[in-house]
């Protein structure tokens, strides 16, 4: 079997696709996709999700820049880079 198949019993994934993931895998369904990964990678993804949520919350707390403010910062950064060249 070199391709995955959907059967009445579920999804059949080729063994060759699972090599390198280790003895145990974490399987999670997110919307329209299926995530199959080693438990360590699943834990890392959860930590990243929490870190992004904390960063977004801090941005809301501190007051995010408006679109005009972002454009001003981008122009200033580009000007600084252009002077270095």
The number of C-alpha atoms within 13 Å of 19 and in the hemisphere containing its C-beta is 4
CB burial class (10 A; 0-12, 13-18, 19+) of residue 84?
exposed
Query: Considering the domain boundaries, does residue 82 fall inside one?
Result: no
Q: Is residue 83 part of a domain?
A: no
DSSP 64: P
Structural domain for 67, as ranges: 5-77
Is the pLDDT at 1 greater than 80? The verdict is no
Residue 72 domain-assigned (yes or no): yes
- Chain segment 34-50, per-residue pLDDT in tens: 888 999 999 999 999 99
Q: How many domains does the chain have?
A: 1
* pTM over cut 0.85: no
Establish if 85 belongs to a structural domain. Answer: no
Note whether residue 9 is domain-resident.
yes
Is 71 part of a structural domain of the chain?
A: yes
Rounded Cα–Cα distance for residues 46 and 52 (Å): 10
Assigned domain for 18 exists: yes
| pLDDT band of 13, cuts 50, 70, 90 | confident
């Amino acid at each position: 079997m070199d391709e995955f198949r959907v059967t009445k019993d579920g999804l059949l994934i080729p063994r060759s696709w699972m090599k390198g993931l280790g003895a145990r895998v974490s399987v999670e369904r997110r919307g329209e996709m299926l995530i199959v990964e080693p438990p360590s990678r699943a834990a890392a993804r959860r930590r990243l999700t929490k870190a992004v949520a904390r960063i977004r919350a801090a941005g809301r707390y501190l007051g995010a820049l408006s679109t005009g403010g972002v454009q001003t910062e981008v122009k200033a950064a580009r000007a600084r880079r252009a002077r270095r060249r």
